[in-house]
Structure 1
């Protein structure tokens, strides 16, 4: 499986601007990171500092991840559907000395406790390949070593695209600070993205935001989790920017328990199609934890109105122009709901309307999907069936099972491992046809 090659970078004229009109629209392009040598540096001694509960078998994790990428490539059907962030970073460093210097300067300024300023000049003299390796692993011939960035495989948290703008993360933990710098330098200096630098939204100092907390529920409504990783100040800053720059009219700050099991909104709520949501049921219960603060823009520039909503289901029914079907992660029993939420049963990734990927181990969630008209197939079977032909989104609903035995030990599902930068709506006549 370790044979997928990075797609060539098209010219700037061929590349698309950011475009996410809503969740579950047909994927065009996604940024991922297949686990590599940085993951080999997670040890029993440092795993907690690096936010890992376990140590992954990296060879198997890579195979599982590359299989996921192959599914995306088949569904999207274009040669540059999947962009590997390590390739983007190397290409950024190759494009200009300015990019390498900007990365090193941001690194030294953002992590003063690591004393990287002592080797700043040496880092600036690194070749693009040497600096890429240092960025990912923290390893070099210098006297000072830095931590690796194994969480980079969760590219969702690096940023979030809303319409034609991209919001950069402010990592909530020191272990992920370098990831924020990596995506920042790529978006500002890579030839593919630099022409759209005016579409980058950078948040003010002192707030924290990670992309797993943001979902574009509709062209005018965004959901943002108020979680252990995303602060209320960040949500207010994002709401202000979206009201000023985009057609977004409603921002819902969804309250989450501030704990690891619910670290982001997409650990309890993801779209399978525009009308279907995989949800951890307590989020929607009257006495659950999912109350929402509703932000709308005021007439006066730079101000907005807020009101509290005690139940997320009710406010979604009010704001969205369609009825939602809520499919319970783990089925109907609370024990199984909690078990499968823990193993990312609610964290599915929609590569097209009604074409989703999730971890095979969440069997009760898949059974509920079957009851809602989804055909259940393994990733291997899906690729084998469409080996000599095209996949046509919308002709049926399909839930693709990714083995994920090793990837799931990293505590993040398929949505966590994907940063879509472009989607588009399928033609209205291409509604899923069921089994």
Structure 2
């Protein structure tokens, strides 16, 4: 690995700029606590074989480290939280945040005990809900989907407001990290908190370029969340246009990135029934005469029309599942449209979505499995002009209803 200088704490100019640093969470003890009795409450449709899921996730981490070529390319969210917990005030703030965000859990009854835990004990409570006293809490297996915890736009970060009770502790985890981890000392003023009465999750936000972002109004992000996020971005960043996509309020398309992601700046993988076939669900949000208190929503017939309108570029849409409507639905369910771009033209998705990979191959991508990629390139990143679609074995990870983009929260990319 290279000994390059530290990267900027926050810098995301686009979805596909070369990755420098990303936050992930490898499934751990908390995932083993999902059972048939609590799976629905914890938002899981199935129970993962944890050991195999960890192996699959470890391959994803190795892929990032090899392609980025930095020792600090991949950060674990639990390591960041543990390091933040070294400070007494961070542990106190975390407990206070849980009490405020989750009054129905009655954490205040054990406030002194929780605040008396050391960093190891409080981290275990944060992830598993288990403590050496009879407090009632749930594990956080959805922590694996770090994308939803926040969204970096340029040099700013939007903190998520989880739409479900099961994910509320994760919002407190990220608030604690950004507020107390030394890594973010220089950018604390760039952390954007949304109003308490809206919901917003990071899987609904995609950064097209420094002027344009997409936000889905979805099962997990409310209209109020879209407008609040748009207002903050238009006022505090270089963003000039926010494209809102009104999605069906359904689990199969819970976030925008489950039906639309970027493979390179002008190539997108899309779920046709929502992105191409449905119409009149897209709006361009702009500030009127630069006044963010006065937002204008311009309707557009399709997302493609809105993108081409505000960017002046032409886009190629690759169909998740290919041309067969049944394959489209099957592969969208197993995250065929949820690709993660390591750099322009280098993407990773799940191996099982073969029709999607066939469509990428027809678009000029070389398709290779993750282990072959790692064996061939080792610690040397491939040339920047190679178009490669990497197939990650994700038979267990995909059962959690989230793909490689869902499992990654980039902090920094180059322009």
The alignment's TM-score, normalised by the length of structure 1, stands at 0.93
Alignment match of 1:197 (pick from 188, 193, 207)? 188
Superposed CA deviations along residues 160-183 of structure 1, whole A, max 9, x for unmatched, are 011100000000000000000001
Change (3 A) 1:105 1:126: same
Distance, in Å, in 2 between the alignment partners of 1:392 and 1:381 is 13
Distance, in Å, in 1 between the alignment partners of 2:383 and 2:101 is 43
Aligned to 1:417: 407
Instruction: Using the TM superposition, give the Cα deviation of residue 141 of structure 1 relative to its aligned residue in structure 2, in angstroms.
Output: 1.0
Q: Residues 110-129 of structure 1 correspond to what in structure 2 (within 5 A)?
A: 110-129=101-120
Deviates most, 177-186 or 371-380? 371-380
Kindly indicate whether residue 277 of structure 2 is the aligned counterpart of residue 277 of structure 1: no
Instruction: Using the TM superposition, give the Cα deviation of residue 289 of structure 1 relative to its aligned residue in structure 2, in angstroms.
Output: 5.3
- SS at structure 2 position matched to 1:208: coil
Deviates most, 80-89 or 389-398? 389-398
Distance, in Å, in 1 between the alignment partners of 2:276 and 2:388 is 28
Aligned to 2:373: 382
- SS at structure 1 position matched to 2:371: helix
Aligned to 2:334: 343
Superposed CA deviations along residues 95-144 of structure 1, whole A, max 9, x for unmatched, are x1000000001111111111110000011110100000000000011111
Change (3 A) 1:102 1:393: farther
Instruction: Using the TM superposition, give the Cα deviation of residue 394 of structure 1 relative to its aligned residue in structure 2, in angstroms.
Output: 1.4
Instruction: Using the TM superposition, give the Cα deviation of residue 423 of structure 1 relative to its aligned residue in structure 2, in angstroms.
Output: 0.5
Aligned to 1:326: 317
Alignment match of 1:20 (pick from 12, 20, 44)? 12
Superposed CA deviations along residues 46-80 of structure 1, whole A, max 9, x for unmatched, are 00000000000000000000100100001111100
Instruction: Using the TM superposition, give the Cα deviation of residue 194 of structure 1 relative to its aligned residue in structure 2, in angstroms.
Output: 2.7
Are 2:9 and 2:183, in contact at CA under 8 Å, matched by a contact in 1?
Answer: no
Aligned to 1:306: 297
- SS at structure 1 position matched to 2:305: helix
Aligned to 1:169: 160
- SS at structure 1 position matched to 2:411: strand
Alignment match of 1:184 (pick from 171, 175, 200)? 175
- SS at structure 1 position matched to 2:139: coil
Aligned to 1:3: none
- SS at structure 2 position matched to 1:241: helix
Distance, in Å, in 2 between the alignment partners of 1:93 and 1:385 is 40
Aligned to 2:67: 75
Instruction: Using the TM superposition, give the Cα deviation of residue 322 of structure 1 relative to its aligned residue in structure 2, in angstroms.
Output: 2.0
Alignment match of 1:109 (pick from 100, 120, 123)? 100
Moved over 3 A (4+): none
Q: How many residues align?
A: 413
5+ residue gaps, structure 1, are: 1-6, 426-435
Are 1:376 and 1:398, in contact at CA under 8 Å, matched by a contact in 2?
Answer: yes
Distance, in Å, in 2 between the alignment partners of 1:284 and 1:59 is 36
Distance, in Å, in 1 between the alignment partners of 2:388 and 2:292 is 45
Deviates most, 110-119 or 166-175? 110-119
Superposed CA deviations along residues 314-353 of structure 1, whole A, max 9, x for unmatched, are 1112111321110000001111111111110000000111
Aligned to 2:392: 402
Kindly indicate whether residue 33 of structure 2 is the aligned counterpart of residue 41 of structure 1: yes
Instruction: Using the TM superposition, give the Cα deviation of residue 391 of structure 1 relative to its aligned residue in structure 2, in angstroms.
Output: 1.2
Aligned to 1:260: 251
Distance, in Å, in 1 between the alignment partners of 2:6 and 2:260 is 34
Distance, in Å, in 2 between the alignment partners of 1:355 and 1:14 is 23
Change (3 A) 1:28 1:192: same
Superposed CA deviations along residues 7-63 of structure 1, whole A, max 9, x for unmatched, are 9xx9xx945131111111100000000000000100000000000000000000000
Kindly indicate whether residue 56 of structure 2 is the aligned counterpart of residue 56 of structure 1: no
